[in-house]
Structure 1
């Protein structure tokens, strides 16, 4: 008995809707136009530097230009996405963006992409990465359920990768000069005397539960010895706390008390000199209750 041979159906080409075709054509035309305009109007490095210097001389940018967060018992510092975007605008002929390409609720993760493109030099830096819907807090990983928490987590991770992508297509000399100018602006402040700026910093941190003694301990000198650079360092820490990059008790940990110090106090004798690996052990530091968490 002969059975008819069935030939498997071959899928035909996918149909492309009119709106999709229009969008594809628009995207191609946009890229061509961007390259054409960049070649017709190349950047003027001198003008770009002038724009960068003017921006970095403003406290509005300088106080948002750096971040600081804890890692492996220390702290990591660097430039923020705010500075990166400002430098991209000043350098000119740069396009950048970040997008969520796919969200997988089953595995609780998002696939995202951040990119920056120097249209004039035709240099493009692309970062594709996975963002888990989770956060590390209080020594353990916590799953994120609320949609707003997931959005903010994706946005924070996307901003970090976008910052790296932008810095990858901007010359190092341009970035280095901008960072130096921002630090100088922070050190100079808004024209107020250093004593007034120090008093203002102490008042702000007292609202977060941080005492003057803790500030002095962190900077390694008394209030009377503070410089503009010290105030700038406190401002960077404050902004990182406000952006929830670091918690108050992480930025200002409680002072440690050594066994020698306890023995010295109990015997009523003079306190011994602090060991080399613990320069703060011998200091009298107020120990308020920990606030825990960021402002």
Structure 2
């Protein structure tokens, strides 16, 4: 007598024989079919009124909270790519009515490091349907190169971001082009109007918002191309789109506002360069300046501090020695051959940036 299990051999099924399914699967299939049929029937019995849909769209796009999230913007190949966002697409689908849309993960292959997904939008009245099946690699592009994703939360967020972009295109594919164009124009007008707030106040508020994420007035003026007191409503609208793109993690702060690099030619020519905030003297009265309760940050970092920095670099995916040298040299603006070349304050600043994405107040430019 043997203990080896017998190899499973499926029973032969003649041509045309139906595959057995479980009762739960059969019920779910029937429910899904009935749900689609009911949705189509309701849509046919309660057809949309285009004048009401247009009126709803115009009322919605006049709201600043809608206009603030209506567009995206990010740099690519030296140019700025912008357009209507997924938030505007969903809002227009709601206004138009009788539209179903969504995204589903069909398959996940952890060995290959990819997910197969499908995004769709379906106008139940006209039967216009757009479906996109696509592969999402479990990777993320960073300033240090492509990084493989292994954490389940990172993979979920990566898939959700890729799916949202396809859903946006699917919705716009079934909506009338004139409907989307008018909505976009009205959102731009709402952004420029600013809800009736005086332009000077809106400029000050915009500068304050960007200061909260580590972007200085000088960086904003460099991006716009003129001083802040000469900004127009259109300039503020573009800055608002950029701010929301950073806030929604569509782009990073460094991508939207690349740090200015001082070259050897700049130094030799004697052209003025911007001094980093951390190198500027503190002009506050001595009694208002912070007291140094710790050791001088310009001293070499201790072994414990260097160990913490190494751990932070590894966690951020910067494991190769060459990648670390390139990252640290670009960050500090000087040649860094090893982590031990950093001072205590530079180590602390870099760890905070890697862990939170934020610069200490004294390091923001």
TM-score, L = length of structure 1: 0.85
Q: Is the 8 A contact 1:248 1:294 kept in 2?
A: no
Q: Is the 8 A contact 1:247 1:294 kept in 2?
A: no
Higher helix share: 2
Q: How many residues align?
A: 272
- Compute the displacement of 1:139 (Å): 4.2
Q: Is the 8 A contact 1:116 1:165 kept in 2?
A: yes
Find the counterpart in structure 1 of residue 238 from structure 2: 233
Deviations 1:9-32 (CA, angstroms, capped at 9, x unpaired): 523632122222222222222222
Alignment of 1:36 with 2:38, yes or no, is no
Within 5 Å, give how 1:125-274 maps onto structure 2: 125-255=130-260, 262-265=267-270
Q: Is the 8 A contact 2:262 2:273 kept in 1?
A: no
SS at 1:76 equivalent: strand
- Compute the displacement of 1:246 (Å): 1.5
- Compute the displacement of 1:259 (Å): 7.3
- Give the Cα–Cα distance (whole angstroms) in 2 for the partners of residues 116 and 193 of structure 1: 40
Find the counterpart in structure 2 of residue 279 from structure 1: none
Give the one of 19, 25, 30 matched to 2:30. Answer: 25
- Give the Cα–Cα distance (whole angstroms) in 2 for the partners of residues 131 and 35 of structure 1: 31
Q: Structure 1 stretch 78-87 or stretch 202-211: which is displaced more?
A: 202-211
- Compute the displacement of 1:229 (Å): 1.3
Q: Which ranges in structure 2 are unaligned for 5 or more consecutive residues?
A: 1-9, 279-330, 332-352, 359-365
- Give the Cα–Cα distance (whole angstroms) in 2 for the partners of residues 29 and 252 of structure 1: 52
Deviations 1:239-271 (CA, angstroms, capped at 9, x unpaired): 111112222122112346677754553xxxxx7
- Give the Cα–Cα distance (whole angstroms) in 2 for the partners of residues 263 and 136 of structure 1: 35
Q: Is the 8 A contact 1:66 1:80 kept in 2?
A: yes
Alignment of 1:62 with 2:72, yes or no, is no
Cα distance change, pair 63–49 in 1 and its aligned pair in 2 (3 A): same
SS at 1:150 equivalent: helix
Cα distance change, pair 102–261 in 1 and its aligned pair in 2 (3 A): closer
Deviations 1:95-134 (CA, angstroms, capped at 9, x unpaired): 1111101111111111100000001000110000011111
- Give the Cα–Cα distance (whole angstroms) in 2 for the partners of residues 197 and 286 of structure 1: 28
SS at 1:125 equivalent: strand
Q: Structure 1 stretch 160-169 or stretch 184-193: which is displaced more?
A: 184-193
Q: Is the 8 A contact 2:103 2:167 kept in 1?
A: yes
Cα distance change, pair 103–258 in 1 and its aligned pair in 2 (3 A): closer
Q: Is the 8 A contact 2:118 2:132 kept in 1?
A: yes
- Give the Cα–Cα distance (whole angstroms) in 1 for the partners of residues 183 and 127 of structure 2: 23
- Compute the displacement of 1:294 (Å): 6.0
- Give the Cα–Cα distance (whole angstroms) in 2 for the partners of residues 109 and 187 of structure 1: 42
Give the one of 39, 52, 58 matched to 2:57. Answer: 52
Q: Is the 8 A contact 1:39 1:120 kept in 2?
A: yes
- Give the Cα–Cα distance (whole angstroms) in 2 for the partners of residues 147 and 9 of structure 1: 39
SS at 1:35 equivalent: helix
SS at 1:189 equivalent: helix
Within 5 Å, give how 1:84-123 maps onto structure 2: 84-123=89-128
- Give the Cα–Cα distance (whole angstroms) in 2 for the partners of residues 83 and 155 of structure 1: 17
TM-score, L = length of structure 2: 0.69
